[in-house]
Amino acid sequence: MSKESIYKRYIPAVTPKCASNIPAYWFIFNDAKLLINPKNDLKLPFTNSLKEFSIIPIREHYLGTLDGHDCYVAEVKPETSALEGMAFEDLKLLYDVLDEDIFLLAGRAIQIINWDKNHQFCGKCGTPTEKWEYDNAKKCPNCGHMSFPCLSPAVITAIVKDGKLLMAKHSYGLKDRYSLIAGFVEPGETVEEAVERETQEEVGINVKNFKYFGSQSWPFPHSLMLGFTAEYESGEIKVDGEEILDAKWFAPEEIPPPPSKISIGSELIEWFIEKFSD
Ligand SMILES: [Zn+2]
């Protein structure tokens, strides 16, 4: 799987090169909803000042340049209503609406806002933190403790046996939907060990020959998904009935269509269907 990188259009930075009054792209979030202007090419508000929109942000950050234009992220109060002709839309539902690289940049933007919001105070001594000028980081003026935006790596695996794909029904999320085996990488383990452990824990089987498939930033709330393909090695499917309600092997024609193509899970399923259909 290869994806266009957002970094072909986007150059990250933490402070603008020059203070100017030229228009910039704004990622404006009301909780997890992004302000969309359907009239603009990129669907993002484009203005030289939020004052022009009569918006007073709770917090804002410079993001760098996009197609040579400055861009910013801001968070607004929950009671803020969208400007005329614009709308606040749930970021998760915007995958098919925004250019893919704008969607990815919006994912970066909301993670920076959430990190800022959740690191107002030092985790070690409780002193209010200060923004560090050289990077996306916060420094405690009392004890010097630094905090950075955190990422939680997770693995997701397409496991194949005799031309069938293993899918499981989880007790969280949509209960009637089968999806791939997935879970967070734990401290101290490699991603390969996480694939083996999650598969053993969730469905009681062992896998072999796993291969890296690709990765995806998943900003809900701050994951990095690492996709793998693997072959069944040994064991019988066994589920706990609590976290995993059921698991079974699906032939390509038995797999229900995914609700959206947003996730790397859907791409792994597409890979399987393409490779194992007659
Ligand atoms: Zn401190």
- Using one digit for the tens of pLDDT, what is the confidence trace for 247-271? 999 999 999 877 677 789 999 999 9
**Per-residue pLDDT reduced to its tens digit, 226-251:** 999 999 999 999 998 888 999 999 99
User: What's the predicted TM-score (pTM) here?
Assistant: 0.86
23: its two tokens: 């228009």
**Contacts (Cβ under 8 Å, ≥6 apart) of 26:** 35, 44, 45, 46, 47, 50, 71, 72, 73, 74
Q: What percent of the chain has pLDDT over 70?
A: 96
Enumerate the domain spans of the chain: 6-118, 120-149, 152-276
Cα–ligand 1 centroid distance for 125 (angstroms): 4
Q: Is the pLDDT of residue 53 over 90?
A: no
Nearest C-alpha neighbor of 167 from the set 184, 153, 155, 182: 182
Token pair recorded at residue 15: 């402070």
CA of 121 to the centre of ligand 1 (A): 8
The letter for the amino acid at 73 is: V
Domain 152-276 matching CATH 3.40.50.2300: the answer reads no
* Model pLDDT, residue 191: 94
**Dist CA 156 CA 163 (whole Å):** 19
DSSP assignment of 15-82 equals S-SS---S-EEEEEEETTEEEE-TTSTTSS-EES-GGGGT---SEEEEEEEETTEEEEEEE--TTPPP
Distance 150 CA to ligand 1 centre (A): 18
* Cα-to-centroid distance, 34 and ligand 1 (Å): 33
Residue with tokens 């947003």: 262
Report the run of H or E that residue 231 belongs to, with start and end. strand 223-234
CA of 30 from ligand 1 middle (Å) equals: 29
Cα 22 to averaged position of ligand 1 atoms, centre (Å): 38
Pick the residue with more confidence: 164 or 257?
164
User: Ligand 1 mean position to 129 CA, how many Å?
Assistant: 8
What's the Cα-to-Cα distance from 198 to each of 137, 186, 218, 238, 244, rounded to whole Å?
Answer: 32, 10, 19, 13, 12
Residue 117 Cα, ligand 1 centroid: separation in angstroms? Answer: 17
Cα of 250 vs centre of ligand 1, distance in Å, is: 52
Q: Could you tell me the distance, in angstroms and rounded to a whole number, from the CA of residue 206 to the centre of ligand 1?
A: 45
CATH class of 6-118: alpha beta
Q: What is the mean pLDDT of the chain?
A: 91
Exposure string over 244-253, b if 16+ CB within 10 A, otherwise e: beebebbebe
Ligand 1 centre and the CA of 134: distance in Å?
19
pLDDT class for 100, splitting at 50, 70, 90? confident
What is the per-residue pLDDT across 173-201, written as a single tens digit (0 to 9) for each?
666 789 999 999 999 999 999 999 999 99
Q: Which residue has the tokens 């990488």?
A: 185
Please tell me the distance from the alpha carbon of residue 12 to that of residue 200, in angstroms, as a whole number. 40
How many whole angstroms from 28 Cα to the centroid of ligand 1?
A: 30
Question: Do the first three CATH levels of 6-118 and 152-276 match, i.e. the same topology?
Answer: yes
Measured in Å, residue 139 CA sits from the centre of ligand 1 at 8
Pick the closest to residue 4 from 97, 103, 77, 94 (CA basis). 103
Q: Is the pLDDT of residue 155 over 90?
A: yes
132: CA distance to ligand 1 center in Å? Answer: 14
